[in-house]
Amino acid sequence: MSELDCDVVVIGAGLAGAAASSICSEHGLSTIVLEARDRAGGRGFTRRFMDSEDQLEFGGSWIAPWHDRIRHYADKTQITLRPTHPVNDHRWHDGRTLRKGLPASDLALQAVKEHALLYKAGKPFPWQAPLTLNQYLDHIGASPEARTHVLAWWTISGNGDPDRISASEFLSSCAYGDGSPESMMTALRHTLVPGVGALAERMIASSSALLELNAPVVAQSQDGNAVTVTWASGRTMKARAAICAMPLNALRMIDFAPALSAKKREAIALGHGGRSLKLWLKVRGVAPGILASGGPGGLRWLFSERMSADGATLIVGFALEDGTLDPTDRASIAASLARFFPEAELIAWDWHDWLGDPYARGTWVALPADATWIGDPEVWGKEGRIAFATSDFAEVSAGWFEGAIRSGEAAALTLLKAL
């Protein structure tokens, strides 16, 4: 066998890759982390808002109370947990009119709560085949007003085409609290300071792994002795084993030899449907702590999260990628803002295009109703000397950064046994 560059090469410097490198290094394996971007963090992307002093999360951000592994690494690397501003006011747009408070619970919203609590208890739903969100809303006889409420919270849960993505993505998120959509706020307890990107960087640095940025990988081949990784530049690297810590939707850019299992290939071809738009808005005239949701389209979920460094207010907002919001157009953003905050003055807005990002090709995982198996961890088991890790098919807390960390740790431990 020719000389190796390291024991383990990790593809991807998000939290899955950072956790994998931490475990490998703890067990004495020389590790190199390759990252296609010019930064660590993956779908955790911390950067300044425009040219201001405000550091914001343009990817995932929230940490739930039960996310103990990310809290472990935050403590280890001196990352601070910042409590989410308490919600002190609710606004709801029923599709026609802005109202104060939350919608009254009707039969459909009561059914949502009942079904979310069934999910929480591990009991089966009272229907056979998986339903898309729109099929589910038809099933429970949701009124137009109830649909606006559900679709608003869908932007931070299922976050994909409601005619394609499984309704269980929504119900499982309602199950974080008392079963109601608005109880999802139970899970949005903390964010990280200085940010998710800093956490990934510090995890890799403290692991003693070598981080190589601007190193997009286009091929991975293996034989009985080693894995060879090829960069887009043509450079190659050889290791005893590899951990592919990339989002499911980005795996299509890698050529694997020998080919992956048929199930993995099919899952990669199908891809998941996470397609929310996350925007930050800087405004004047709005106090922090206001949660607004609903509406006929555009931004459907907004939270005035905190004050900016210059005394304005920073609002985080979510929309579906359904053509009702143009994130590049001021008039489109202003119209959505005015629907919920008519008193607000829009100063600026900022966002990152995760759908166009070639190393993400989507947001957090959203499983198609007719192919929920693509997120099954058993499908993504080790193949030869290559293991796989991402929050998209984590066994616990899939779709969260906690899931990314747990998946990365599990992939590394699997390789350790094999090596």
Distances (CA, A) of 195 to 258, 311, 315, 382: 38, 21, 17, 31
- Start-to-end Cα distance in the chain: 16
Rg of the chain (C-alpha set): 22
Indicate the pairing of strand 46-48 with strand 55-57. Answer: antiparallel
376/67 Cα distance (integer angstroms): 20
pLDDT of residue 1: 38
What is the reported pLDDT for 224? 87
pLDDT per residue as tens, the chain (419 positions): 358 999 999 999 999 999 999 999 999 999 999 999 999 999 999 999 998 999 999 999 999 999 999 999 999 999 999 999 999 999 999 999 999 999 999 999 999 999 999 999 999 999 988 999 999 999 999 999 999 999 999 999 999 999 999 999 999 999 999 999 999 999 999 999 999 999 999 999 999 999 999 999 999 999 989 999 999 999 999 999 999 999 999 999 999 999 999 999 999 999 999 999 999 999 999 999 999 999 999 999 999 999 999 999 999 999 999 999 999 999 999 999 999 999 999 999 999 999 999 999 999 999 999 999 999 999 999 999 999 999 999 999 999 999 999 999 999 999 999 88
Decide: helix, strand or coil at residue 342.
Answer: coil
C-beta neighbour count of 98 within 10 angstroms: 16
Specify the amino acid at residue 171: L
The enclosing H or E element of 329 equals none
Distance of CA 42 to the CA centre of its chain: 10
Name the DSSP class of 348: E
What CATH number matches the domain at 6-44+195-272+361-418, 3.30.9.10, 3.50.50.60, 3.40.50.12240, 1.10.3720.10?
3.50.50.60
Residue 419 has what pLDDT? 83
Query: Which among 66, 60, 144 is positioned nearest to 392, based on CA atoms?
Result: 60
**What is the value of pTM for the model shown?**
0.96
| pLDDT value for 2 | 56
Q: Where are the domains of the chain?
A: 6-44+195-272+361-418, 105-186
